[in-house]
Amino acid sequence: MMITWLMPILAIGGLIFVHELGHFWAARLMGVRVDEFSVGFPPRIFSKKIGHTRYSLGIIFLGGFVKLRGQNLDDEDPTKADNYAAKSKLARLFIIAAGPAINLALAFILMPIAYKIGFPEPTYLSNPPIIEEVLVGSLAEQAGFKSGEQIISVNDEFVGSWREFSDEIAKAKDSPINVKLSSISSAGSFVREIEFSPSPRSTVDGFGLSPLVLPVIGQMISGWPAKQVGFMIGDKILKIDEIDVATLAQLSKEIQKKQGSLANYTLERSVDGSFSIINIKAAAKLDEKAMVWRLGFFTPNTKVTYSWSESINLGVARVINLGRALLTFFNKLFHNQVSKNEVGGPIMIVKAMGEAAEKGFSYFIILTAFISFQLGIFNLLPLPVLDGGHIAFLGYELVAGKQPSVKFRYGIQLVSVVLLLGLMLFITIQDILNF
């Protein structure tokens, strides 16, 4: 538990550190004096001055700053060479943009690393694509898929697993799709073709097919019946009471029929290579979000890894897609189409990162990459207290040929600080309520 809280806090601190390091490095490169480099806001818990720069660690960890000589209204001096105000517009833009830029770059570095490490995914995705059930009213039913058939190819591309089928469906996008299927009956085996358009969603579950999956226990969820009553990883469920269950779909149907009542589960368990049959009594628990009864386990996973070239392509594509999703969110926010429950702050970020860490290190890296990307974009918003506000002032200076007045800059900075603090307070309160 401690690790799942510590890892997110260290990761967020690291993202803030590299952001401020970008400003620090760019300022030093441009010859601007750095008065203080701080990770976290005061009060300070550590401080040491080396040369002209004080290096600090603040107790308010979710933030940081680099104090440049001449960037504040009270120490501007264009006559001194090491003063920020003495530098050209291009040099100042470079210093300001370096922080967000390094966060954006970090997202593109971290995401491919996550793919290279690999992800656990359900083992059934590597199995032959044999259809156990077609969901009523689904896209698959409308397309003409039938239970018991095996998918052979999609648009003349052979598919030997559910993962390959899902990938080929995704590639087709909005183009017409041709699927070959085979089935075996008392009359023999035969192959048929179906064609449909437009393309369904790329995931197997969203498409409406239920793969043939064995009812084998993989990871169990804490606080749910499977773990509480003594199920073990690798157990294969053979019966519920006297009803045989050969597949996961059959198991799920029988569990729903029981409606949470106590039932006897017959299991096949392997210990040191020898198999034994045991019986365990359990009552399924209602998942109130999905409104279905569950024992609380996942089927076994297999770790899937990628080559560096695949990891880079997949990682870059994912960052771009996340960027598009973020822009869509900002558009909805601007048009007041976002619920307050959709907005998360520091507490919910730490909670989400902790959950990702429990799920797997690669998932934690992906979320860290996305937060780094968000941090870069957020800091480019044209608010005077953010990097985007300084860039906006530079734009005004470029057009008008002079800086805004000191009085105007002071006033708008004060208003921005009040608004930003108010927003942070609102988000934190909302976090606490959601948590």
List, for residues 310-319, the tens digit of each pLDDT value.
999 999 998 9
> Rounded distance, CA 52 to CA 269, Å?
68
Helices H / strands E in the chain, number of each:
12, 16
All domains in the chain, ordered by first residue? 2-118+369-434 (no CATH), 123-211 (2.30.42.10), 225-304 (2.30.42.10)
Residue 292 carries which DSSP code? Answer: E
Residue 133: strand pairing partners: 210
Q: How many CB atoms lie within 10 A of CB 310?
A: 13
The whole-number mean pLDDT for each consecutive block of 10 residues of the chain, a chain of 435 residues, reads 68 88 94 90 86 86 82 82 91 94 95 91 88 84 88 91 86 81 74 75 64 89 89 93 91 92 93 88 89 90 89 92 81 67 64 74 89 90 82 86 75 72 65 60
Residue 286: strand pairing partners: 293
pLDDT of the residue at 200: 47
> Rounded distance, CA 429 to CA 347, Å?
10
Integer CA distances (angstroms), 113 to 8, 108, 315, 363, 376, in order: 18, 9, 8, 11, 19
> Rounded distance, CA 151 to CA 128, Å?
8
